[in-house]
Homo-oligomer: A and B are copies of this chain.
Amino acid sequence: MEKLLMTPGPTNVPERVLNKMKENMIHHRTSEYSKIFRELNERLKFVFQTNSNVLTFPSAGTGALEASIINCFNTGDKVLAISIGDFGDRFIKIAKIYGLNVDEIRIPWGKAVSLGEIQDKLKEDHKGVIITHNETSTGAVNPIKEIGEFLKNKNLIYIVDAVSSLGAIDIQMDNWNIDVLATASQKALMCPPGLAFIGLSPKAIDYCKASKMPKFYFDFLEGIKYMEKSEPQNPYTPAVSLISAANEAITMIEEEGLQNVFLRHKVLAEKFRGEIKGMGLKLFTDERVLSNAITAISLDNGNGDEIKSRLEKEYNIVVAGGQGATKGKMIRVGHMGYVDDYMIDRTLDAIRKVI
């Protein structure tokens, strides 16, 4: 049986995309490269649902989160940050490392924040709101649309970590007033890992211009400058193969249709959750905020790591375990990106046999 990556990333990469990875190298200061890079930017704008440029860096998603902080703020700036799990905690940790004055909303794992909690905590002097969209550690989704509508025209920027959701769950960057939208290649975008993508609104660019924090490699304004050349480029050597692969992967999303992609994720997620509950297993996550990208299954008797290990050894299916306090007490099954009915069925069948 072929290996199946049912993890929250890296996810399965389609053959078409893998084939792009082995194409002969091209040089990044040529028209040939600029053409591909321009195409990728246009396709990223399509999946980000924005008219703004989307920057691309060789980096993990974590680098994109850090880059958002160092490019948009100054030491001492006050921000409101919401954590509903491990990745929310990480974003807060990064903000604090850089001396931001962080007001935190921490929600118990498995739940999402409510708009009301944000309305309560938001202050006039907050220069940013920082939130995780899809919390990979818990399978809960924050209401980023409602929050974005509330934040419209407020004197701050709205930063969304969409690393594990962009391309799986609807995110309308422009319509929802998102100023910085960060994701990575290896999740719902069906690519190998190694690229971070960051959409920047005109307001975010103004914040970048006011930021005095030291930066170099991740300098957004340099990235924009190179992207706005008549032949768009990157300030430093880009990961050419991955850029070509990402361009192909998003072409596949275009071909399927963005709304169809979201619908496929929804249908498969609902089927997966239904069957899991049918087996008598418990979902970890509040039913009202379930993610269509990942399902967290509670295993309170602590045999999560054993089940994870057996799924890999006996069925060649890789899933993720619990993080932090949920270690051993959870398995997390990713169903994002290049995923179909067969993969869901094979995974359900293996889980049924193992438990």
Contacts and interface: CB of A to CB of B under 8 A. Distances in A.
Interface of A: 2-3, 5, 7, 9-13, 18-19, 21-30, 58-63, 66, 93-94, 97-99, 184, 186, 192-195, 214-217, 235-242, 312, 318, 320
Copies of this chain present in the complex amount to 2
A18 B11 contact: no
Given A98-B214, A99-B214, A236-B63, A192 B25 contact: yes
Nearest to A312: B30
Contacts of A27: 5, 7, 10, 318
4 nearest interchain CB pairs? A194-B239, A60-B236, A21-B21, A63-B217
A184 B192 CA distance: 19
Contacts of A238: 60, 193-194
Contacts of A194: 58, 194, 238-242
Contacts of A23: 18
A312 B58 CA distance: 27
Contact of A216 (B2, B11, B66, B195): B66
A216 B97 contact: yes
Contacts of A186: 25, 237
Contacts of A66: 216-217
